[in-house]
Amino acid sequence: MKILLISCAPPQGVNEFPSTGLLYLASVGRSRGHEVRYYDIGDRKNRGRFDPAVVLSFDPDIIGINAYTARMHDIAGLIRRIKAMNSSILTVVGGAHVSACGRETMEGEPSIDIAVDGEGEGTFGELLDRISGSSKKNFADIDGLIYRKDGTVVQNKPRELVTDLDSLPLPAYDLVDWQAYRGESLFRERNAAVYSSRGCPYRCIYCQQSIFGRTYRRRTPSSFVAEMKLLQEKYGIRAFYFFEDLFAVDKNWLDRFYVERKRQNVNGPWACLGRVDSLDERMLKDMRANGCRAVYMGVESGSQAILEDIGKNISIDRVVSAFSGARRAGLITGAYFMIGHRLDTKQTIDATIRLAERLRAPIVFFSLCVPFPGTGLYQYVPLDARYAWERYDENADNPVSVSMFAPSELVFAQRRAMLKTVGSLRYLCDNVLLCANSIFVRWLFFKRWLAARFPRLLVSSRTCGSGSSEPDNEFCAGRCR
């Protein structure tokens, strides 16, 4: 069979990395003898523009699409266009959105034939086997599948999580046009996002864990570094972004990772995400000595009461300590904040801005708090916005609000926060004029200052450490830092 895997444009418009989740599924399809192609509508060449000729020329039997919550209306329209070209194409949708509300999604959009709930490799593989090997097409025993039978949407029981991540095939990187991606803009080198783990045991109420669940699983350092070596030697990757929830949480694993990098001769800088309560100064110095250039940490609020309400389980003192330690270790720091928590007030938002100023991180994000389906926040969504998916976007002009503030007030607060921190004269002096950064990094930070100071000049302020609020991994991963 012919399989076309389509990566859609994220809410902010451009995919900075190829879809690792879809590339895993491409390897699954190839391992069963099928012809697979990968088409990224959201890369820097296509920029969200769908070309019907890609579908018409390949004439696929199956199309698989990753789904972002904020783009569900656009994705549904795309699937209808594909069905209009050839109604016999089997359309399969996966990702965090359909894993959280797959039945409702299929009931609302009849052009979707099948949805994959949770991790997709096993479910997608069994689906391919059943379609290609049987004329009866009985899907009842395929765990993790949502499908139609006699006009009714049927949701099978969830599939068990993959326990041995080393057993998964490597993503089909040969399908990627690497020239179409910028990657992590902090690096001048061509870079890629690589994942060592799945799952998160923490219970932040804003985090969407409908795919990978709460069970933390991790690859061995040797397997992980072998993938990095492949990317380095075969595809010219010179830097890496470990864009996963909990990369820097286990010192013993990190020590073995450093040994494997040296043993397999994998060089080049890297950046990662981390939790402030998992990083001490010794770990941060070891990371810097072993190639880490930047670490991004979730802070979310400057109010201790809100941190407790959202289940973050960190203290303001620990936040300050982690950022100070990272700075002393010589690492570039990134701080993630959210505005519009359900208990936010003007005073707590001001406290968040003051904390951001105190941390003096050169990379700062103030995202709007988006109550995605499958999160603890979703229960607070007003009824009239429950299915207004285009509003589930932190960059929307009329975002969903679970706070006391109107959407327009949240947008104003977000821009004010960026202006007072990244758009300040102090930021310009610290990170551009009076610092030891390279000219390249200074230029990046100067663009961030310009975007915060004059937001109409640059469309997006996400010039470093960027990624959608639903980062991709396995169609589309959860959101947790």
Structure token pair of residue 394: 């932190």
CB proximity list for 115: less than 8 A, separation 6 or greater: 92, 93, 94, 98, 102, 105, 106, 145, 146, 147
Q: What pLDDT, in 10s, does the model give residues 171-229?
A: 999 999 999 999 998 999 999 999 999 999 999 999 988 888 889 999 999 999 999 99
Flag whether pLDDT at 457 surpasses 70. no
pLDDT of the residue at 455: 82
Tell me 171's DSSP state: P
Can you give the pLDDT at residue 436?
Answer: 85
Helices (H), 339-403: 346-359
Question: pLDDT at residue 458 above 90?
Answer: no
pLDDT of residue 333: 97
Give the pLDDT confidence score for residue 309 in this predicted structure: 97
Q: What is the pLDDT of residue 469?
A: 37
pTM of the model as a whole: 0.92
Residue range 433-456, pLDDT digits in tens: 988 889 999 999 999 999 999 986
Condensed to tens digits (0 to 9), the pLDDT of residues 320-376 reads: 999 999 999 999 999 999 999 999 999 999 999 999 999 999 999 999 999 999 999
Q: Percent of the chain beyond pLDDT 90?
A: 84
What pLDDT sits at residue 205? 95
d(CA 454, CA 448): 10
Mean pLDDT of the chain: 92
Map residue 96 onto helix, strand or coil.
helix
pLDDT band at 462 (very low <50, low <70, confident <90, very high): very low
> What is the C-alpha to C-alpha distance for residues 467 and 12, in angstroms, rounded to an integer?
9
- Residue-wise pLDDT for 225-257, tens only, equals 999 999 999 999 999 999 898 999 999 999 999
Q: By CB neighbour count within 10 A (0-12 exposed, 13-18 middle, 19+ buried), where does 379 fall?
A: exposed
Residue pair 463/448 in contact by the 8 Å Cβ criterion: yes
Q: Read off the pLDDT band of 45 (50, 70, 90).
A: very high
- CATH code, residues 2-155: 3.40.50.280
- pLDDT single digits (tens) 109-134: 999 999 999 999 999 999 999 998 76
Q: Is the model's pLDDT at 467 over the cut of 50? A: no
Mean pLDDT, range 264-277, rounded to an integer: 96
Domain boundaries of the chain, sorted by first residue = 2-155, 184-453
Render 224-262 in DSSP notation, one character per residue.
HHHHHHHHHHHH---EEEE-STTTTS-HHHHHHHHHHHH
Tell me the mean pLDDT in the region 156-177. Answer: 97
Q: What CATH number belongs to 184-453? A: 3.20.20.70
